[in-house]
């Protein structure tokens, strides 16, 4: 049975051929991991139609060879750096059309590759990363399960008088104790009026009784990200909070129900946004309904008013409608779901 990463590399090589390229230079560490199973900075991966080469500092070569058997490792030596190895291999193979992902480069490095006649391109590996398969799905499930279980723990520990930062640190420690390598993005803990800021920067405000608390967080587990948002109330919820929460909950549930293979991304956003708009809060929902999740916390597709792409089985996306009443409070409910032929699987369940 072919190694999972070797199979991905083979698919990537077919994309290279379909684009009329001789080779593709992969410089982004997450894409390198996706194609080889080796995650480390400071190396370059040159993928030809039939062969692939990893150009690494000598100190990384032995480790790479232990992990990756289907890709040749070439080590730097005196007078050679990693980019020089790439250029020498391109010349030795007679490659005339080599592409690279311009979005992964700095201005200086991108200019350097173009100087050597490399062709700026889209990130081809993102095409393969759109849909998840096999071990990817299991890693996503584990990552999302850790986040969901962590919420069940933290909600019992939250008390008025604690600061947002204290809640954040406790929550992140809980996830790490469950096996996560760290948070998948900057954890958002928004108390009281801070919950009305969709991307609030967690600070030292103290939690108070009689106020809502929004927790937007996730973790990285086996390289894959999770994303979940829950909004709770410290004490007895006010009538206004209950009303807003029920609207967001209905929007979220309808959005999750709408997710399935073959439906336009925009259609899920339309469902969620329509319910909130009909309830009179349309102007307070100022972001897209969701986004793809995988090796990165934000990946294609986007569930918003503009994305024309279609959902496909194997995609992992978030559904996260919200209502934000500036100066008062906000409510967001978010789950990461796996798109299936019929419906979806909610991954962020304990």
pLDDT of 1:
46
Nearest to 73 by CA among 86, 87, 61, 89: 61
Same domain, residue pair 120 and 168: no
Long-range contact list for 282-288, CB < 8 A, 24+ apart? 284/323, 284/324, 284/325, 285/321, 285/322, 285/323, 285/324, 286/198, 286/324, 287/198, 287/322
pLDDT in tens, 20-29: 999 999 999 9
Residues 41 and 168 in one domain: no
Of the candidates 82, 109, 129, which is a domain's last residue? 129
Q: Are residues 196 and 93 in the same domain?
A: no
Q: Which domain holds residue 38?
A: 4-129
Q: Which residues, other chains included, contact 139 with Cβ-Cβ below 8 Å and sequence gap of 6+?
A: 221, 222, 223, 224
| Residues 143, 105 share a domain | no
Calpha distance 9→136 (Å, rounded) = 15
pLDDT at 134: 86
pLDDT of residue 309: 94
Domain check: are 232 and 279 in the same one?
yes
159 shares a domain with 119: no
Distance CA 64, CA 39 (A): 9
Under 8 Å CB-to-CB from 51, ≥6 apart: which residues?
Answer: 72
Contact predicate 131/315, CB 8 Å: yes
Same domain, 192 and 300: yes
Assess whether 123 and 209 both reside in one domain: no
> What's the sign of the alpha-carbon dihedral 219, 221, 226, 229?
negative
Confidence at residue 340, expressed as pLDDT on a 0 to 100 scale: 97
Contact call for residues 303 and 320 (beta carbons, < 8 A): no
DSSP conformation letters of 224-265: EE--EEEEEEESSPPHHHHHHHHHHHHHHHHHHHH--TTSBH
Which one of 129, 144, 167 terminates a domain? Answer: 129
User: Helix (H, G, I), strand (E, B), or coil: what is residue 33?
Assistant: helix
Tell me the CATH number at 71. Answer: 3.40.350.10
Per-residue confidence (pLDDT) for residue 318, from 0 to 100: 98
DSSP 3-state of 303 = strand
201 and 115 inside one domain = no
Q: At what angle do helices 265-278 and 239-258 cross, to 10 degrees?
A: 160
pLDDT of residue 79: 60
Residues of the chain with confidence (pLDDT) below 50: 1
**Tens digits of per-residue pLDDT, 183-207?**
999 999 999 999 999 999 999 999 9
CATH classification at residue 191: 3.90.230.10
- Same domain? For 153 and 48 the reply is no
Q: Give me the pLDDT at residue 322, please.
A: 98
Same domain, 125 and 153: no
The reply to whether 319 and 341 lie within a common domain is: yes
Only one residue has tokens 């390289």, namely: 223
Where a domain ends, among 103, 129, 155? 129
Cβ atoms of 346 and 337 closer than 8 Å: yes
Number of structural domains, the chain?
2
């Amino acid at each position: 049975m072919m190694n999972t990463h070797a199979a991905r590399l083979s698919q990537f090589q077919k994309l290279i051929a379909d684009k009329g390229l001789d080779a593709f230079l992969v410089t982004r560490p997450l894409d390198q991991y996706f194609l080889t199973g080796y995650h480390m900075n400071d190396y370059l991966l040159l993928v030809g139609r039939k062969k692939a080469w990893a150009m690494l500092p000598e100190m990384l070569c032995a480790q790479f060879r232990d992990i990756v058997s289907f890709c040749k490792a070439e080590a730097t030596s005196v007078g050679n750096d990693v980019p020089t190895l790439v250029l020498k291999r391109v010349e030795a193979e007679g490659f005339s059309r080599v592409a690279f992902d311009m979005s992964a480069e700095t201005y200086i490095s991108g200019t350097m590759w173009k100087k050597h006649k490399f062709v700026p391109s889209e990130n081809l590996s993102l095409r393969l990363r759109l849909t998840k398969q096999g071990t990817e799905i299991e890693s996503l499930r584990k990552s999302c399960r850790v986040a969901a279980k962590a919420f069940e723990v933290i909600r019992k520990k939250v008390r008025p008088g604690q600061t947002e930062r204290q809640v954040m640190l406790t929550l992140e420690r809980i996830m790490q104790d469950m096996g996560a390598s760290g948070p998948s993005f900057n954890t958002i803990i928004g108390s009281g009026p801070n919950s009305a800021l969709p991307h609030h920067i967690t600070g030292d405000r103290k939690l108070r009784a009689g106020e809502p608390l929004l927790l937007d967080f996730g973790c990285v587990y086996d390289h894959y990200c999770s994303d979940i948002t829950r909004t709770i109330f410290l004490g007895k919820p006010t009538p206004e909070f209950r009303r807003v929460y029920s609207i967001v909950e209905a929007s979220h549930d309808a959005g999750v129900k709408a997710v399935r293979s073959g439906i336009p991304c925009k259609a899920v956003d339309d469902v969620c946004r329509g319910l909130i708009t009909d309830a009179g809060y349309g102007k307070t929902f100022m972001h897209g309904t969701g986004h793809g999740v995988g090796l990165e916390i934000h990946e294609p597709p986007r569930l918003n008013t503009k994305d024309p792409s279609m959902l496909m089985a194997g995609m992992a996306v978030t559904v996260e409608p919200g209502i934000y009443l500036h100066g008062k409070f906000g409510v967001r409910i978010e789950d990461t779901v796996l798109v299936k032929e019929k419906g979806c699987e909610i991954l962020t369940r304990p």
